[in-house]
Chains A and B, each alone.
Chain A
Amino acid sequence: MAKEGRVPFAFQEETWQYILEGRAGLVNAPTGCGKTYSVFLGALIDFINRHPDNYQKKGSSGLQLLWVSPLRALAKDIGRAMEEVIRGLGMQWQVGIRNGDTDPSERQRQKRRMPEVLIITPESLHLLLAQKGYPEVFKSLKIVAVDEWHELLGSKRGVQVELALSRVAGVKARELSIIGISATIGNLEQAKEVLLASLGDGEGWAAGEVRHFIVRAQIDKPIDVESILPDEIEKYPWAGHLGLRLIHKVIPILEKSRTTLIFINTRGMSETWYQSLLTACPDLAGAIALHHGSIDMALRNWVEDALHEGKLKAVVCTASLDLGVDFRPVETVIQVGSPKGVARFLQRAGRSGHQPGQVSKIYFLPTHSLELMEAAALKSAMQEGLIENREPMLLCFDVLIQYLGTLAISEGFYPAQLFRELKSTYCYSEMTEDEWMEILHFITEGGVALQQYDEYRKVEVMEDGLYKINSRRVAMRHRLHIGTIVSDSMLKVRFVSGGYVGVIEEYFISRLSPGDVFTLAGRNLEFVMIKDMTALVRKSNAKKAIVPSWNGGRMPLSANLGMMLRRKLDEASRMLEGSGRTGEGLAMDEQGVNAKRKTGREGEVAIVGRKGIDVELRVLRPLFELQAELSYMPKENELLIEQIETRDGFHLFVYPFEGRLVHEAMAALLAYRISRTVPISFTFAMNDYGFELLSDQPIPLDDSNAYELFSPDDLTADIQRSVNSAEMARRKFRDVAVIGGLIFQGYPGEYAKARHLQSSASLLFNVFSEYDPHNLLIRQAYNEVMDQQMEERRLRNMLERIAAGKIVLRWPGKLTPFCFPLKVDSMREDLSSEKLEDRIKKMQAQLR
């Protein structure tokens, strides 16, 4: 198979061998080293071996390889690469693509003649299962490949894949191979287990023989991390402010590298960055581009093609370019702001320097000075190989309810048989018979009803016990609904003269008046009107434009990174005390930072020659000194609590460094415990470093009750009672209700007709809480809060850590560097960004 002089990697050959043996497993390889070929060629070789005489002539072999990929955008590139190989071998295989962009005529063609390879998204795979006669499609299928499995695992899309795999495995009586492809994550073993669960333990294999393999690509991928340091340290850091001021340091980096990817955490900020780069360096016009999820597909494709061809000097992007095929011209990556996790940082770094043996170069650009601490933490975490796990989701009833509807509109299902199949998946292996009965009851009877006055109609039980949806209207609505990605209602943005620019939240556009200018896809657009669910715009030359905001999920800091941050804080604190390694660190020169990193094995990034204190921490010294002077610098085993009184009221700041989600839960718990002793109201804010409780009256927390309030005792009960779990559940419920089919988002192009079926998640949450509190989907929302946010284990660990350590209480006379970002973030809600800027400047002046 060594064609065109290319030599396969060892991991590719290993994978082919396993595929030929009919095993299932997981291939762990970074992008850009032929992971696609490792599985695709394996499937081809397998086919050739089975048809040694006529493999070149044999056509219409039916579906052989199902390629599940999370990204639509990837399909075309992968398909092209596959077709090249097929042509090279002179075979008759066809490659088909099936996703939301596939037009109906192509679908029809596929129905008549299935291609041998079908590249599909999880959503489209479910749509396939919603088609009558789907078992026929899978009859000839040999291999299901799941690409970017690490990206799917831990999300509801991953659960969708699990369900689809269980059905396909069911149709095939497990005569099937499943192969996942994943980047490095902390729990690869578990990732494999989840993916292959529905294949069972592999009956028919000799005892002791391992049916399920993991192949790890041993490819050197050295990573070089460098922080972009501000010349002067802002002693009062606030998010978003510093980043743009460092833009002059970015320009030289762009200049000296062929192509640079600049990763920004939010779509809104990426628009701002794009504009600012052009302002700072007008020469870049035409050589830089913008890429994020709300930009029209055609524009994005153009950017991607231009990237491939090396036409662009830089692309400002968001997570939209996290995945996917490699852009070989990319030599450098700049990460703006915290990547929130080690795995993501590594993945982004890996987008540069794709040629084997090349160094991946990534710069870290802080958006506020404290973030520099994260850079130091990231480096240490990479060094120690602390890569996050992706925790698989369990018992997602909303996804299950949707899946049952999907099966009910195609072939229908028999509960007993399907239950066995579901139990074989990882997600639903713990589902009880009672829960199953409840689910069946819910989809057939619709919960609490007024018997003879009810006309609930969804899934019906046929005479032979088959569960089926017969109503064509219900079936049609269900098809429109398949998927687990819930977005705010979006409007397309189109030029009056024609041509789409992208999408924008309805909420944002509803606040604009005609004539207002906003920016999207790097262009200034004047809003004209809304027509047919489309926002019409025309180009504008206005200097000032509003930057839209998209309500994307904010990633919380990972536990690994949090732990590392606390350690860095400890180092910083000791640095101030001038003890331990400090002297050494101070004596050390910049070499310590720039020391060459030796290459290590893939997955473990070796950074050597780093002794003493990180340069980032040393640069932050003035900030730490101010923090110590005004308040206190906590060590690793200390929890700092600051209480400050301002015009807004009484603030309580706590800094556990555990990430936003855990802080939200912690804030709720603490507020609950305090409010048990006195009647009091709070509002709160949190970031990844800590949280704030704000009240209109003094908050009764001092050394007499601090340990008690943070005690791990009664944690379980307090979490249950903790107020805010309801509020958090309310927010979770939105997604749950959409996925579970309670919220109908309307027919495309037929907005008005669905009007009488409109309701909001918040209203439904109220209604169910009052009238059907045990409803499965409500419980689902609470469970998600418990699992993901109020995660008892992590909370308990944190409280135990606090109990074992020391709580340090301070009453600073004014705002401290630590609390400043929290305070500023909370102001953001009342003010526009420009005024905010002024106000903060004023505050900073007052503080000096």
Chain B
Amino acid sequence: MQPAFPYRIKGQQLWLSPDRCIFWEEERSLILSDLHFGKTGHFRKAGIAVPQSIYREDLLRLLCQIQYFQPRQLLVVGDLFHSKENKELALFLKWREDFPDLGIRLIEGNHDILHEDWYKKAGIEVCSPVLEIGPFAFIHDITDESVEKSADPAADGRGIVGTPYYFSGHIHPGIRIRGMGRQSLQFPCFYFGADYAILPAFGLFTGTVSVEPAADAQVFAILPPSGERGWAAGERGRTPGERGTAPGERGMVHRREAVGPAVSGNMDRRRMPMARPWSSGVKGPGSILQIQ
């Protein structure tokens, strides 16, 4: 198990896991986002041969997180499932049976299009569009207008002082780190702004979209495990219409997630940042690095 990174906000103790989720100590809740379960199956059903073992890895990682933090519930801020029901979700149901006491609360995301009966069967409580617990509120896409409304203190009738602090997902945030000599790398990240946080996508079959952090935001990059020889290499900026070309997968260091300089449209592909061999040795756990 990889060491988690302690972080306090609104008087609450959080633990940021390099496995792309947050443990909320006071509520004994594991907060995660954008798992996109069933995505590989959805692709495969359409004749697109994506390796399915990535899904098994996701389930396994989630299992490890649950065993380590021992949460009483999962708070999923959307996109728990990728699309329609398929056999991969049957595997999820089987996985679910091993945790009968674990609550799962899902804040509906744009991908969560399953029937309510199915959620019931899976023991998942669906909340939409916002769930509030203590000083926190949970929503899938922070840019939704509904946030504004519910964030309005006047509409807050439950006696919580001030606006809640939001946890969201949806965009699969990544942070770009630049160095001298035009070096640049991109990693998935936890983003803590003044009023809301954005979680990285938990699922590994997802890309990242780089975010430009506000000056007062705190950003934690999820670095890949050291040990493997990692060659960072270039990557073109995000192509719209695709969710994130910039990769940054846990445990995939050697999958070189560094990213080329942020470029204007006429980027050609001649210049690629490349090549920082991480310390050689055994593949170890990933880690959290505060960027700002």
Contact = CB atoms under 8 A, between A and B. Distances in A.
A binds B: yes
Interface of A: 268, 442, 446-450, 452-458, 471, 473-474, 477-478, 488-489, 505-508, 510-511, 548-549, 551, 554, 648-650, 660, 664, 668, 671-672, 675, 679, 681-687, 694-696, 723-724, 726-727, 730-731, 741-742, 744, 756-772, 775, 825-826, 828-833
Contact of A825 (B111, B181, B270): B270
Interface string B233-266: 1110101111111110101100111000101111
B46 A744 contact: yes
A478 B48 CA distance: 11
B90 A453 contact: yes
Given A457-B47, A681-B183, A762 B270 contact: no
A456 B45 contact: yes
Given A455-B86, A696-B180, A760-B207, 10 more contacts: A447-B49, A453-B90, A671-B274, A675-B277, A682-B181, A683-B272, A684-B272, A726-B233, A761-B245, A770-B249
Contacts of A826: 182, 271
B272 A763 contact: no
Contacts of A772: 51, 53
A653 B134 CA distance: 60
30 contacts: A450-B55, A455-B45, A455-B86, A456-B47, A457-B44, A458-B47, A473-B46, A474-B46, A477-B46, A554-B268, A648-B181, A682-B274, A687-B270, A694-B181, A723-B231, A723-B233, A724-B274, A727-B256, A727-B274, A730-B235, A742-B50, A757-B43, A759-B205, A760-B245, A762-B247, A764-B50, A767-B54, A767-B249, A829-B263, A829-B264
Contacts of A741: 47-48
A20 to B, nearest CB: 47
B90 A758 contact: no
B275 A672 contact: yes
A727 B46 contact: no
A770 B255 contact: yes
B267 interface: yes
B182 A683 contact: yes
B273 A683 contact: yes
Contacts of A742: 48-50
Nearest to A751: B241
B91 interface: yes
Nearest to B45: A455
Nearest to A737: B48
B274 to A, nearest CB: 6
A843 to B, nearest CB: 17
Nearest to A547: B266
A763 B205 contact: yes
A838 B57 CA distance: 52
Contacts of B281: none
B181 A757 contact: no
Q: Is the interface on chain B under 10, 10 to 19, 20 to 34, or 35 or more residues?
A: 35 or more
Contacts of A730: 233, 235, 256
B159 interface: no
A757 B46 contact: yes
Specify which of B179, B180, B243 lies most central, judged by the most chain A CB atoms within 10 Å of its CB.
Answer: B180
Contacts of B42: 756-757
B256 A695 contact: no
Contacts of B255: 766, 769-770
Nearest to B230: A723
A319 B240 CA distance: 27
A429 B281 CA distance: 43
Contacts of A474: 46-47
Given A766-B252, A832-B264, A506 B46 contact: no
B56 interface: yes
B150 to A, nearest CB: 27
Nearest to A764: B50
Contacts of A548: 265
A449 B52 contact: yes
B204 interface: yes
Specify which of A453, A675, A765 lies most central, judged by the most chain B CB atoms within 10 Å of its CB.
Answer: A453
A752 to B, nearest CB: 11
A709 to B, nearest CB: 15
Specify which of A452, A551, A731, A829 lies most central, judged by the most chain B CB atoms within 10 Å of its CB.
Answer: A829
A724 B233 contact: yes
A448 B41 contact: no
A63 B274 CA distance: 55
B181 A829 contact: no
Contacts of B277: 675, 679
Specify which of B57, B182, B240 lies most central, judged by the most chain A CB atoms within 10 Å of its CB.
Answer: B182
A580 B88 CA distance: 77
A840 to B, nearest CB: 16
A829 to B, nearest CB: 5
Contact of A450 (B47, B91, B181, B267): B91
Given A683-B273, A762-B235, A763-B207, A768 B88 contact: no
B47 A477 contact: yes
A766 B249 contact: yes
B252 A770 contact: yes
Contacts of A681: 179, 181, 183, 232, 273-276
B10 interface: no
B87 interface: yes
B241 to A, nearest CB: 5
B247 A763 contact: yes
A551 B268 CA distance: 7
B206 interface: yes
Listed from nearest, the 10 A-B pairs whose CB atoms lie closest are A727-B233, A446-B49, A549-B266, A696-B180, A458-B47, A772-B51, A448-B51, A771-B51, A649-B181, A723-B231
Contacts of B120: none
A505 B255 CA distance: 28
A510 B91 CA distance: 39
A758 B180 contact: no
A744 B265 CA distance: 24
Nearest to A446: B49
B37 to A, nearest CB: 12
A772 B264 CA distance: 34
B241 A758 contact: yes
Nearest to B113: A756
A768 B249 CA distance: 12
B43 A770 contact: no
Interface in B219-239: 231-235, 237, 239
A506 B241 contact: yes
Contact of A756 (B111, B232, B268): B111
B168 interface: no
Contacts of B245: 760-763
Contacts of A508: 265
A450 to B, nearest CB: 5
Given A450-B91, A648-B181, A488 B270 contact: no
B231 A766 contact: no
B269 interface: yes
B83 interface: yes
Nearest to A695: B181
Nearest to B84: A756
Contacts of B51: 447-449, 767-768, 771-772, 775
A756 B39 CA distance: 8
Contacts of A684: 271-272, 274
B82 interface: yes
A457 B45 contact: yes
B48 A744 contact: yes
A687 B261 CA distance: 18
Contact of A489 (B88, B233, B239): B239
B181 A766 contact: no
Contact of B52 (A442, A454, A760): A454
A723 B231 CA distance: 6
Contacts of A549: 265-266
Contact of B243 (A473, A505, A760): A760
Given A450-B56, A648-B181, A649-B181, A471 B47 contact: yes
B179 to A, nearest CB: 7
A477 B45 CA distance: 13
